[in-house]
Structure 1
Amino acid sequence: MEVFWRQGYEGTSMNDLTAAMGINRPSLYAAFGCKEALFQEAVTLYDATAGAPAARALEEAPTAREAVERVLRVNASYGAAPGTAPGCMIVLAATVGSPETEEVRALLSRRRSEGQIGLRNRLQRAMAEGDLPQGADIDGIAMFYTAVLQGLTIQARDGAAAEALHRVVDKAMAAWDVLVRPSTDEQL
């Protein structure tokens, strides 16, 4: 997982993987079949480990605002933590590549979409519970905060410190009250 996370799908060779796992190629192929299958396992592991705190924050926070802020802060802290690969593996591992890796890019695109849908669902729940006003643009809010998360990942990959990433979160959360206002015809 960490090799793919640091180097991306295409940047990771079979030699990198066998060295990291301490096994030979025949053992890797016997266990996983191919590099893509191993990558899919790595993505599943990432979701269960590095991605779990953000998923928990989204579900467990008492308000939508707190859920969004916790998700952003978890990503800001974890993305710049010493000893871990910077940023989010789902965002970084394969956004571009050769035609041969289209299935890998599609897998990660689906995972990124699932993250945005999860955020949208949390906002929808908040609206149903009266935590967000009826008429709030939950699709736009989810897209905005997903873009902030993805931007945090790029900044972390570029070496931004956690403190700087948290300043971005502060600015993104300052927009909350404006973003959750219901749309009116006059505003359009």
Structure 2
Amino acid sequence: MQDNTKPENQAVSSNIHLRRRGRPKCFDENQALEKAMLLFWQYGYEATSISDLTQSLGITAPSLYGTFGDKVELFKKSLDYYLANEACPIDEIFKQAKTAKIAMELYLFENLKRLIQDYKPTGCMLVVSTMNCSITNQQIQTELLNKRLATKQKIFARIQQGVKQGEIPSMTDIQAMTDFYTTMLQGMTIQARDGATMEQLEHVVIMAMKNWDNFLK
């Protein structure tokens, strides 16, 4: 029986078949992101090289670039992974807490569980991963700054909600309260990096919450 299929049609069919199959991935992207996140979290953006990443992820540089883009894009995706899987769930805590004071206390203590963990870097990735970046990576520093400021704004909004609910006097300097507790959070990250124990930081949180009423006078 004669095959009437045109050669060009056979080529098109073959190409479609190849595109459908694609190149099989030899690694799990989420696992790779977790490993990249841990490197950036531990050593910072600039100190983590492409060689470090490919070695830890167990992939070649072309595979890394083909899957995640360049180092900047991989860092951003790693940061998103951190926020989704490691960062303290501030929205949930603030929504469920009955008062602003309870919300802040829960948030501080919940952060401690993430600042000091077994087999993971200490501190908050949003704070430590670009501490020593040069001017050439200003864009990344700005992006992290904006994320930290977004968290600070949520703290301000939750305290402001306490004013509206009558828990906090209307004349209270809630910006000063926000600045204080934001500074406490970021300071605990540095303390965790410097080797502070969980017990030591728990005492810091207890003292910080004792200062709550001082703002209301």
TM-score (norm 1): 0.91
Residue equivalent to 1:116: 152
Answering whether residue 57 of structure 2 is matched by residue 18 of structure 1, we say no
Answering whether residue 206 of structure 2 is matched by residue 170 of structure 1, we say yes
Residue equivalent to 1:39: 75
**Separation in structure 1 between the aligned mates of residue 168 and residue 77 of structure 2, nearest angstrom:** 37
Residue identity matched to 1:35: K
Contact kept? 2:88, 2:114, Cα under 8 Å: no
TM-score (norm 2): 0.79
Answering whether residue 101 of structure 2 is matched by residue 65 of structure 1, we say yes
Structure 1 spans left out of the alignment, 5+ residues: 182-188
Answering whether residue 110 of structure 2 is matched by residue 88 of structure 1, we say no
Residue identity matched to 1:159: G
Residue equivalent to 1:136: 172
**Separation in structure 2 between the aligned mates of residue 6 and residue 89 of structure 1, nearest angstrom:** 8
**Separation in structure 2 between the aligned mates of residue 180 and residue 91 of structure 1, nearest angstrom:** 29
**Separation in structure 2 between the aligned mates of residue 148 and residue 58 of structure 1, nearest angstrom:** 17
Higher CA-based Rg = 2
How many angstroms does 1:102 deviate by? 0.6
Paired-residue identity, %: 37
Structure 2 spans left out of the alignment, 5+ residues: 1-36
Contact kept? 1:141, 1:180, Cα under 8 Å: no
Residue equivalent to 2:112: 76
Larger relative contact order, structure 1 or 2 (CA cutoff 8 Å, min sep 6): 1
Give the 3-state SS of the residue equivalent to 1:74 in structure 2: helix
RMSD after superposition: 1.3
Residue equivalent to 1:125: 161
Answering whether residue 200 of structure 2 is matched by residue 151 of structure 1, we say no
Residue identity matched to 1:68: M
**Separation in structure 1 between the aligned mates of residue 94 and residue 40 of structure 2, nearest angstrom:** 26
Count of residue pairs brought into register by the alignment:
181
How many angstroms does 1:55 deviate by? 4.0
**Separation in structure 2 between the aligned mates of residue 127 and residue 42 of structure 1, nearest angstrom:** 37
**Separation in structure 2 between the aligned mates of residue 147 and residue 137 of structure 1, nearest angstrom:** 16
Give the 3-state SS of the residue equivalent to 2:130 in structure 1: coil
Contact kept? 1:76, 1:166, Cα under 8 Å: yes
